[in-house]
Structure 1
Amino acid sequence: MTDPEMRAFRVRSPKAVAVWLCLFDNDDRETRIPLVRDGDDWTATVAAVEGTRYAYRADGPPPFDPSKLLVDPYATHLDRPFAYDPRLGERGIETAPFVPKAVIARPFSSWDRAPPLFFPGGLIYEINVRGYTLLHPDVPEALRGTIGALAHPAVVAHLQKIGVDAVELMPIVASIDERHLAPLGLRNAWGYNPVVPMALDPRLCPGGVAELRATVASLREAGIGTILDLVFNHSGESDLNGPTLSFRGLDDAVYARTPDGKLINDAGTGNTFDFGNPAVRALTLATLRHFVDQAGVDGFRFDLAPILARAPGFDPHAPIFAEIGADPLLADRIVIAEPWDVGPGGYQLGNFPATWLEWNDRFRDDVRRFWRGDGKTGDLATRISGSTDIFADQRTRSVNFVAAHDASRSPMLSPMRAATTRRMAKTTGMAMPMR
């Protein structure tokens, strides 16, 4: 067994009156260690070995509830997936049996990070990790449905055959089903309901960061970049009736609110992170740095990206843009915005910084109309020449697509049309996520 090391724990909880570090042994017995306040944070230094499982509890005025076990917002490894249980949202009910614990893991040593492999002008291929290989006959059954399966030679060969320059992985961090799904006999298959932003979902990545790192490296050797689709607009804690899993029990102020205290719902999910809060931006930057430093990913796609720049209205000069651009690990990464959300003024296509790419739904709509037979040739020409009516001289900012995970059904493409579409993406200097 690894010898214990002195390890420093720190968690933010400005309004708590008491916070405990909770350590769990192999029999799930819990040891609580009181933390000491240090400004807005609470800290402790304790002896622990790699593989130790831990969480937090916090007490104070409502909504604090010490019966709720809380996942570290900065956790990078979890001992199990999240699973929704109504008791997670019921005050006074002990939740340790239902909540994943973070796992102490030693980070990889520093390594030489290559420049991003993908460059604007190539073909981005959007992938649902589980669904893409779950039934693949050439992939070993134990590997199917995981990130590691994407590195299998048969999968890599197919991606090369269809001309993929970068894969865009739909969310792979640990997510939880929304509470309305179970009564309908449904599950969230896409993963757009994460809880904490760095912890990979054990169902998709049982080998943790090491598995993601190895897959990114294998794809890179084949000339294929890796882009992660990340959700920073909300968490799986949802509205006030949702589960208490992490932020809600530690620092509820990370969620944006109206002046009368109601949760803002610009993500359409019950809650919205407040990017006017420096703590939210700090966690976002730490997450991006983590996936670049520890896994070598080439870039990121930001779900409902206007929320990153709300204060509360959209601000094209929001602090997060400058902070990403100034970070030495992040400045050269590919950054792609989904430039809309459901909040007021939520459609912001063309308004992100010049260094950002943007999903261009105008391309999708005009191209599909043309294929259907009721579109205009002039509109098609504008779209395939860079949508200069939207992006002015920044032609490479347009990420052209005709179908994506949340688009309406695309027309059936013949092999000739599909090949033509790929050539259009390459020859017009734009990117195009498809599935």
Structure 2
Amino acid sequence: MEKDTIYTALPGRTYPLGATWDGQGVNFALYAEHATKVELCLFDSTGKETKIPITDCTDYIWNVYIPSLAPGQLYGYRVHGPYEPQLGHRFNPHKLLLDPYAKLIKGELNWNEAVFGYKINDPQSDLSFNETDSAPYVPLSVVVDSNQSTGKKEPKPSIPWHKTIIYELHVKGFTQKNEKIPPEFRGTFLGLASKPVIDYLLNLGITAVELMPIHQHISEEHLIRKGLVNYWGYNTIGFFAPDQRFVASQTDLDPIAQFQTMVQALHAAGIEIILDVVYNHTAEGNQLGPTLCFRGIDNAAYYRLSVDNPRYYMDFSGCGNGFNMQNPRVLQLIMDSLRYWVDTMGVDGFRFDLASALARELYEVDKLSTFFDAILQDPILSQVKLIAEPWDVGDGGYQVGNFPVGWAEWNGRYRDDVRKFWKGDLGTLPEFANRLAGSSDLYEQSGRKPYASINFVTCHDGFTLTDLVSYNQKHNEANLEENRDGNNDNNSWNCGIEGPTDDPSILELRTRQRKNFLATLLFSIGVPMLLAGDELGHSQKGNNNAYCQDNELTWLDWNLEEQEKNEFLQFVIKLIKIRKEEPVFQRSKFFHGRTIRGTNIKDILWLDCDGSPLTDEKWNAGFIKSFQVYMAGDLIGDIDSEGKPIKGNSILICFNGSENDIVFKLPTRRNNRSWTRVIDTSNGQLPEEDFPGESNYQLKNRSLVLFRGLRPKE
């Protein structure tokens, strides 16, 4: 029989929080303000547990130093204190708890009754007390080498906001079916780092990937019981740990090194990495959820509790709970997590899920909140890309346009207004024009720039682009919620038939509509964001809430043998190329309709189909669906790195959102120069062709055409 390991427990340090290996041993520090006793639990390779009482507590931080421990050590905590849910306290030492600062988490959650702090079938519900040990059923924290690195880091691309093109993807869904990736790396960080993926992203032309959540998460019990999972991952339990599901097993690289390898591969290709992060709630849910980490460490400190009845949580996410942003230690945890992913893991920015929830000080959303102040003054975080999803589910949570300077936002108004215009809704012209020109009505007054607007037509949440033009209604039956889940208001149009069809006229119209959406997106001022798979014609069969579908419904099909699919991909590549070539689309300042000195040419002109300026009467006429917009390449207003004014070609775009073919009269150019047709969404095979000013151009219904006005050589 093996002898029990004897551990020496020495006074530790209160900083840094978490488990820190110094080459000789490990320091453990845990914030638990209302706890009366804390035990560090160490596990050997057989799963045997050794409990070590932590006797030193300074400033509510329990700390201990254990010599001889090394990276790879498995551990957790048991925290003692009052079990008084009606007062907000849910301490239960029978529950083994994860370290909030764990850099690595190992093992799966088994939804046994033991993982709950209360007795499941007790009449008193969560007021009862469950003494069953949860250790056999929960994942464990892992000590790591804090200085770990895979080698020399590639320089960060540091791409300016106004030159950024974002591509939102799911690590597994993007790589799982790509047969060019080695089988053992499909669905993983290393799959995303593989040459076929890098080559594809470079060929596409995007500058940044926005990864859907890669923090360690758990799938909700109700999904597991239905045979489903939380595929999207917006249910975080470890804010420092890379998710185990994206880790390749057939390699010597550990999970942290695998993530760093992916970052370095993307950086070497000049591509930035933005993480979609979920700090508004945790995976522990409401008062009936499991006790896995924060709830058992100090429920009243880590979570926002109802003022009237602390037994319940304030929930602005719809997921059961909310982090207590009024607690400095909770705010510190979020800041430490963000800095870790920038400093150690190398990412370039963050997209904050339901960011309005983070901005609630007492109840209302406050753009002067402590959270924003902390980030703005931080020398590291203030220098990375910060994107807000500017809404939550609470009252007053829709905050598009109201985030502070330094933040970009997912512009939900852009998505809705562009969809309505191409769907054919009446009275959409003024709003559509605002979105096309950078949404100055939302961002300029507060001193922000056009790149505060992250423009998108589709994202992970909702219809894919193909489904947007193929379905009038959501079809979420596969989620096993009787189609009650998901948004009912999609501003979609099926082009005449619901779902799949062989009708060639319907298919042609759907392709044209997809081209219209992406051309509008790439030719709008602001930062475009594409949803991965839209360029490949990916469909989720009308499911607009595929969060629980880890299968071929959400995995991208990389078979590009179909001619139409490949042609559409080439069209999207051309759109991105045009955007990157033309400085007028990369403006860092808003249009102001001002004139170029000595001419009557303005930086932007809104024209009727006959080439005359749009009158107020036309602007306000609800039936107008067709117009032209001229963007002057001589009055961009930006300065290059040498201090010289940036000048480019002028652009003319004719939009026909009507049901009829329309003849447009092209405006005259100075010195009688011609226009060059570059893109016509009604015919992707047309070659570039010159048209003199005042030419008539017939544009098919529901189409747009882009003309380039070449600058004279200086």
Question: Of 131, 135, 142, which residue of structure 2 is paired with 1:103?
Answer: 142
Distance 1:386 1:31 in 2: 60
Partner of 1:188: 230
Contact 2:208/2:273, CA 8 A, preserved across alignment: yes
> Root-mean-square deviation (CA), in Å?
2.2
Match of 1:299 in 2: 349
Secondary structure of the equivalent of 1:431?
strand
Identify the match of residue 331 of structure 2 among 270, 281, 300: 281
Map 1:306-345 to 2 at 5 A. Answer: 306-311=356-361, 312-345=363-396
Cα pair 1:360 1:399 within 8 Å, conserved: yes
Q: Which moved more, 1:344-353 or 1:391-400?
A: 391-400
2:455 to 400, 403, 421: 400
296-305 or 175-184, which deviates more: 175-184
Q: Match of 1:338, as an amino acid?
A: E
Match of 2:197 in 1: 155
* Residue of structure 2 in register with 1:92 after alignment: 131
Aligned to 2:442: 390
Equivalent residue letter for 1:386: G
SS at match of 2:79: strand
1:14 aligns with 2:14: no
TM-score by length of 2: 0.58
Cα distance change, pair 83–232 in 1 and its aligned pair in 2 (3 A): farther
Instruction: Say yes or no: does 1:231 pair with 2:289.
Output: no
**How far is the alpha carbon of 1:182 from its aligned partner?**
2.1
Shift of 1:422: 5.8
1:179-230 deviation digits (Å, cap 9, x = unpaired): 2212322111000001121111111135322111111111111121100000
Task: Give the match for residue 251 of structure 1.
Answer: 298
When residues 199 and 81 of structure 1 are mapped into structure 2, their CA distance, relative to the original with a 3 A threshold, is farther
SS in 2 for 1:203: helix
Tell me how far apart the structure 2 counterparts of residues 214 and 409 of structure 1 sit (CA, whole Å): 30
Aligned equivalent of 1:25: 44
**1:46 aligned to which of 59, 66, 86:** 66
Query: What secondary structure, in the 3-state scheme, does the structure 2 residue paired with 1:301 have?
Result: strand
Q: Which residue of 2 aligns with 1:176?
A: 218
- Secondary structure in 1 matching 2:215: coil
1:82 is displaced (CA, Å) by 3.8
Q: 1:31 is aligned with what amino acid?
A: T
TM-score relative to the length of structure 1: 0.94
Amino acid at match of 2:184: A
User: Match of 1:80?
Assistant: 107
CA distance in 2, matches of 1:272, 1:150: 32
The aligned residue for residue 55 of structure 1 is 76
| Greater C-alpha radius of gyration | 2
How many angstroms apart in 1 are the aligned matches of 2:36 and 2:195? 54
Q: Which residue in the other structure is 1:380 paired with?
A: 432
SS at the partner of 1:197? Answer: strand
Deviates more, 1:107-116 or 1:279-288: 107-116
Q: Which amino acid aligns with 1:74?
A: Y
Range that drifts further, 163-172 or 390-399: 390-399
Q: CA deviation at 1:384?
A: 1.3
Q: Distance in 2 between matches of 1:423 and 1:244?
A: 47
What is the letter of the counterpart of residue 299 of structure 1? G
In structure 2, which of residues 81, 94, 119 is the aligned counterpart of residue 67 of structure 1? 94
Q: Out of 525, 530, 533, which is 1:428 matched to?
A: 525
My pick for the range that moved more, 189-198 or 106-115, is 106-115
Aligned residue for 2:403? Answer: 352
Q: Is the CA contact 2:155–2:267 (under 8 Å) kept in the aligned structure 1? A: no
For the 8 Å contact 1:116–1:332, the answer to whether it is kept is: no
Does the CA contact (< 8 Å) of 1:59 and 1:66 recur in 2? yes
Given that residues 349 and 360 in structure 1 are in contact (C-alpha distance below 8 angstroms), is that contact kept between their aligned partners in structure 2? Answer: yes
Given that 2:108 and 2:139 are in contact with CA atoms closer than 8 Å, whether structure 1 keeps it comes out as yes
Assess if the C-alpha contact under 8 Å between 1:84 and 1:176 holds in 2. no
Shift of 1:115: 5.3
Unpaired runs of 5+ residues, structure 1, are none
Partner SS for 1:159: helix
Aligned to 1:383, the other structure's residue is in SS state: helix
Change (3 A) 1:82 1:146: farther
Which residue in the other structure is 1:199 paired with?
Answer: 241
Cα separation, 2, equivalents of 1:72 and 1:389:
45
Q: Distance in 1 between matches of 2:422 and 2:523?
A: 20
What's the secondary structure of 1:367's corresponding residue?
Answer: helix
| Secondary structure, counterpart of 2:52 in structure 1 | strand
TM-aligned CA deviation for residue 108 of structure 1:
2.8
Give yes or no for contact 1:276–1:310 (8 Å, CA) kept in 2: no
How big is each residue's C-alpha offset from its partner over 1:56-104, in whole Å with a ceiling of 9 and x where there is no partner?
0011111111110000000011122445434311421211111111111
Q: Letter of the aligned partner of 1:11 in structure 2?
A: L
Distance 1:86-1:373 versus aligned 2 partners, 3 A rule? farther
CA shift, 1:369, in A, is 1.3
Q: Which whole-Å deviations, capped at 9, do the CAs of 1:150-201 have from their partners, x for residues lacking one?
A: 1111111111222211000000111111122123221110000011211111
CA offset at residue 325 of structure 1? 1.8
Q: What is the letter of the counterpart of residue 529 of structure 2?
A: M
In structure 1, C-alpha distance between the alignment counterparts of 2:239 and 2:76, rounded to whole Å: 16
Per-residue deviation at 1:418?
Answer: 4.4
Structure 1 runs (4+) deviating above 4 angstroms are 109-116, 415-420
SS of 2:529's equivalent in the other structure is: coil
The answer on whether the counterparts of 1:274 and 1:280 sit within 8 Å (CA) in structure 2 is yes
Note closer, same or farther for the CA distance 1:423–1:209 as it changes in structure 2 (3 Å cut). Answer: farther
Give 1:35 deviation, angstroms. 0.5
Q: Distance in 2 between matches of 1:40 and 1:278?
A: 12
SS of equivalent residue, structure 1 residue 195: strand
Counterpart position of 1:132: 174
- Deviation at 1:337? 0.2
Question: Percent identity at matched positions?
Answer: 39
Change over 3 Å in CA distance of 1:113–1:57 after alignment to 2: farther
Structure 2 Cα separation of the partners of residues 433 and 246 of structure 1: 36
Higher relative contact order, structure no. (Cα contacts within 8 Å, ≥ 6 residues apart): 1
Identify if the C-alpha distance between structure 1 residues 131 and 382 changes in structure 2 by more than 3 Å, giving closer, same or farther: same
The Cα of 1:3 is off from its aligned counterpart by 11
Partners of 1:40 and 1:125 lie apart in 2 by: 43
The 1:272–1:129 alpha-carbon spacing in structure 2 relative to 1, beyond 3 Å, is: same
Q: Structure 2 CA distance, aligned partners of 1:289 and 1:117?
A: 17
Change (3 A) 1:144 1:109: closer
Cα separation, 2, equivalents of 1:112 and 1:130: 24
Q: Describe the superposition over 1:383-415 as per-residue Cα deviations: whole angstroms up to 9, x where unpaired.
A: 011111211252210001111111245434738
Task: Compute the displacement of 1:419 (Å).
Answer: 8.7
Residue 425 of structure 1 and its aligned partner are, at CA, apart by 3.4
